[in-house]
Amino acid sequence: MSDIKKRLSSILESPKQSTEEKLQKVCQLLDQEISYFNWTGFYFKNGDKNELKLGPFVGAPTDHIIIPYGKGICGQVAVSNETFVVPDVYAQENYLSCSIDTKAEIVVPIFKNGENIGQIDIDSHKINPFTEEDKEMLQWLCEEIGKII
């Protein structure tokens, strides 16, 4: 995992790329390196509205371009400000299905100056694939992203 962290750091520290390009490359790296990350993307607060707007992502297209706060796993994280690991999406009542293949999801918030400004959302086609190491790495990543946004 430390190799992935080093590579993620070098993407985020690149002076030649826009934030949008960096986030797209982060999605690509995670998608390529972690076999059970089957959809990786970012959602960000949509201006002053209590909703999230889809940002850079890798994976199948989604109908969920806008997600109201409180709806689905992403909307819940926008309200709770806490990482949410869902080992089995079908056991969750407030789940927004993006793909029939999705079986698990992890969502980690991104903070800037103490405010929840967005999140990374990762879906997996496997039940309960996410490890404590994945969670720690993604929380570290979101802290680093908060510094460059």
Q: How many CB atoms lie within 10 A of CB 40?
A: 23
Provide the 8-state DSSP code for 90: G
Query: Residue 24 and residue 72: Cα distance in Å, rounded?
Result: 23
- Residue owning tokens 């698990």: 104
pLDDT of residue 27: 98
pLDDT of residue 90: 86
pTM of the model: 0.95
pLDDT reading at 22 higher than 90: yes
Q: How far is CA 25 from CA 12, 35, 92, in A?
A: 9, 16, 30
Q: Which of 10-14, 47-51, 60-64, 93-97 has the lowest mean pLDDT?
A: 93-97
- The pLDDT tens digits of the residues spanning 84-137 come to 999 998 888 777 666 778 999 999 999 999 999 999 999 999 999 999 999 999
* H or E element that contains 110: strand 104-112
* All domains in the chain, ordered by first residue: 2-148 (3.30.450.40)
Q: Among residues 40, 15, 17, 18, which one has the least CA distance to residue 28?
A: 40
* H or E element that contains 99: none
Mean pLDDT of all residues belonging to the chain = 94
